[in-house]
Each structure stands twice: as C-alpha cells, then as structure tokens.
C-alpha cells in the first residue's frame, strides 16, 4: 500500500469496482421492484384498515338502531311509571293521586321494567334482536296491563 493512499481511498475504489460491473438499469429495477412491493403492502394494509373500520361502524349503526327500536316500547312504559311517581312527589299530600300502597307497587313495577331492559341488552348479544322482539312485545303488554291496574282509582 502506498503511503499517499489512505484506507478510505482503497475501500472506495473497491466498492466502485464492484458496482462498475453491474449495470445501472439492474440496480434501478431492483429498487423499483422493492418500491412496488412496499406500495402494494401499504395499500393492502390501508385498504384492510379502512374496510374493517367501515364494517365496524356499519355493524354498530345497525345494532344501535335495532336496540332503540327494541327498547322504545319498554322505555315508554318506564317513562309512564316515572311520570306517575314524579307527579305524586310534586303535588301536596291532599292532592296526591297515588296512595302509599300504589306508590310502592309503582316502584316495584319500575324496578321490574328496568331489570327487563338490562336483561334485553344482555340477551341481545346472545340471541340477536329478532328473537327478542316477541318477548319484548309480550312483556311490555304485561307491564302496561299492570300499570293500568295499579293506577286505576
């Protein structure tokens, strides 16, 4: 090794010698193939992610809508019971439309309705909304009948 040549000069000349034999086209095509593969992978990942997000949102919207429809009638009965109880609390004792016995029955009925709402939400995951519709309609009718009986004077 000549004293005027440094180790860097020798290494750089060796590297240049290696790449002199390989045409630039071959190096460029390999890089292009790598870029294409990376773009395809990124495109696939992006498409998969967007598709999953879209499916999750669609499923959520569908389940939310079905849940609202399913529990709307149950919530209506619960609202009626709460209205009777609230009215009783807002009026004076002389004007009370609801006796203490009736108030106790309304509170019990309210607890049953709320428990049924929670049961419906839990069962909807297992059975699906279609299977619960008939049961909800039946129970809502029972709650309405009991409410009418309790609130009759």
HSE-CB at 2 with a 13 A cutoff on CA atoms is: 4
CB–CB of 106/84 below 8 Å?
yes
Closest CA to 123 of 77, 67, 81: 67
Does the residue 112 lie in any domain? yes
Does the residue 11 lie in any domain? no
Does the residue 45 lie in any domain? yes
Does the residue 65 lie in any domain? yes
CB–CB of 143/113 below 8 Å?
yes
**Who's near 73: CB < 8 A, 6+ residues apart?**
136, 137, 140
Distance CA 51, CA 38 (A): 20
Does the residue 125 lie in any domain? yes
Count of domains for the chain: 1
Does the residue 3 lie in any domain? no
Query: What is the structure's pLDDT at 27?
Result: 61
Does the residue 36 lie in any domain? yes
Report residue 127 CA to chain centroid gap: 18
pLDDT band at 13 (very low <50, low <70, confident <90, very high): low
- Which residues span the domain enclosing 102? 24-151
CB–CB of 109/146 below 8 Å?
yes
Q: Is the pLDDT at 145 greater than 90, yes or no?
A: yes
Kindly state the tokens that stand for 87. 């009215």
Q: What is the pLDDT of the chain when averaged over all its residues? A: 78
* Segment 112-130, tens digit of pLDDT: 999 998 888 777 767 766 7
Does the residue 8 lie in any domain? no
**Who's near 114: CB < 8 A, 6+ residues apart?**
78
CB–CB of 71/117 below 8 Å?
yes
Q: Is 5 helix (H, G, I), strand (E, B) or coil?
A: coil
């Amino acid at each position: 090794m000549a004293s005027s040549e440094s180790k860097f000069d020798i290494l750089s000349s060796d590297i240049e010698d290696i790449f002199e034999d390989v045409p630039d086209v071959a190096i460029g095509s390999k890089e292009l193939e790598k870029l294409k593969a990376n773009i395809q992978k990124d495109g696939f990942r992006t498409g998969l992610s967007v598709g999953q997000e879209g499916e999750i949102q669609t499923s959520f919207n569908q389940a939310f809508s079905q849940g609202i429809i399913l529990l709307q009638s149950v919530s209506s009965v619960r609202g009626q019971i709460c209205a009777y109880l609230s009215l009783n609390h807002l009026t004076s004792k002389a004007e009370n439309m609801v006796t203490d016995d009736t108030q106790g029955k309304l509170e019990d009925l309210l607890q049953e309705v709320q428990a049924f709402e929670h049961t419906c939400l839990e069962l909807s995951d297992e059975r699906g909304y279609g299977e619960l519709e008939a049961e909800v309609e039946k129970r809502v009718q029972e709650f309405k009948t009991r409410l009418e009986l309790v609130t009759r004077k």
